[in-house]
Structure 1
């Protein structure tokens, strides 16, 4: 069986990456239940990207979007929220637009550290927990208590989570290097790259479930 890595490049405060992750999860589940699953094993891997590396530690989400994305126009902001809600609801996502924003460096640091030390399954659960906390509960994306709670949800002991989250130097050099590497090739997220025997296929933007399925099947066909 061919072992293929599916690299998902994201920022934990980008709603399009959350929706793309939901769709990709559905596509992977559909592929794994098909006869083609006997030819390829797909492992999901996460690559970090910061939409705004210079973002401050904390900001009010509603106010930040109003000022920086919608030019102070409350009507435009309401239209945006309604549009995003309509896209998210079929995926089982109950979007909230209030709460706090913040720099995501340490969220990426923690994800990358545990992806390396605990493996892809733990990283997958950690990403899901961070998405839900930020987008559906309005929690800050990288406060210590939020990161610790997400780690525990992912099956990491509270003691280890507190140690890694609390010591800001653990994994910091590594994640900064990875962010620099990723930013050389990526200027928007989400990006999904599926590795194949003959070629890799890269999809940019939040694609529909069937497009992800077709890509997984294409790589499988080319890898037999």
Structure 2
């Protein structure tokens, strides 16, 4: 038996980056779960225009106090270091619309679980550790190439409207089921773990659900 894990996340969510790292570690601790992980889309702010916004102005408008934002960043930097993440918030200059990034993740999923995971990890790293604009199609194409995706006609696909509606419908479905914040882990299609929980919490939930009889 395999345990299906759906991870609802947004690639501009630092807590989702932490959640990915903690899930990776949890799965190592529970190999008997034989988990299959699928990354699902969510947009923290779908109102951001396609070409993005100035990061500093956007965050100032969202959080108001720069002192508060610095405190949040400091906390995340500390948590990230424990998970092998080098958050560089000062390097981020654009707040992108993530719809195209989620389309890329969707297409990666069609090529296999490992490729999708590599694309997600690369997108997180490009944004949070390298300060790159993951709304830029050239960046997305490079992410795809480095992750082993088939990139024939990828530029045309990104420019087109392919799967925009499908991604937005998937986000709407998650919201209709009560997902209002990310990361959000759905285990076996019916059990939920919300937030970037500690590795031990995720591992315990995975172990318990993997051990349940299928009919449960």
Using structure 1 for the length normalisation, give the TM-score. 0.87
CA contact (8 A) 1:110 1:171 kept: no
Q: Is the 8 A contact 1:59 1:100 kept in 2?
A: yes
Question: Unpaired segments of 5 or more residues in structure 1?
Answer: none
2:147 to 127, 136, 154: 154
4+ residue segments displaced more than 6 Å:
none
- SS class of match (1:150): helix
TM-superposed deviation, 1:160: 4.4
Match of residue 47 from structure 1 = 40
Aligned residue in 2 for 1:31: 30
* Counterpart contact for 1:113–1:171, Cα < 8 Å: no
Q: How does 1:1-224 map to 2 (within 5 A)?
A: 2-32=1-31, 37=32, 40-57=33-50, 58-69=52-63, 71=64, 73-97=65-89, 98-115=92-109, 117-166=110-159, 168-185=160-177, 186-195=179-188, 200-223=190-213
In the alignment, the residues of structure 2 paired with residue 74 and residue 49 of structure 1 have an alpha-carbon distance, to the nearest angstrom, of 26
What RMSD over aligned residues (CA atoms) do the two structures have, in Å? Answer: 1.6
For the residues of structure 1 that align with 2:40 and 2:151, how far apart are their CA atoms?
Answer: 24
Structure 2 SS opposite 1:222? coil
- Provide Cα deviations, 1:137-164, integer angstroms capped at 9, x if missing partner: 1111221011111111210134343343
* 8 Å CA contact 2:3, 2:210 repeated in 1: no
Structure 2 residues not aligned, in runs of 5+: none
Q: In 2, distance between residues paired with 1:220 and 1:113?
A: 28
Cα distance in 2 for partners of 1:42, 1:160 equals 32
TM-score w.r.t. length of structure 2: 0.91
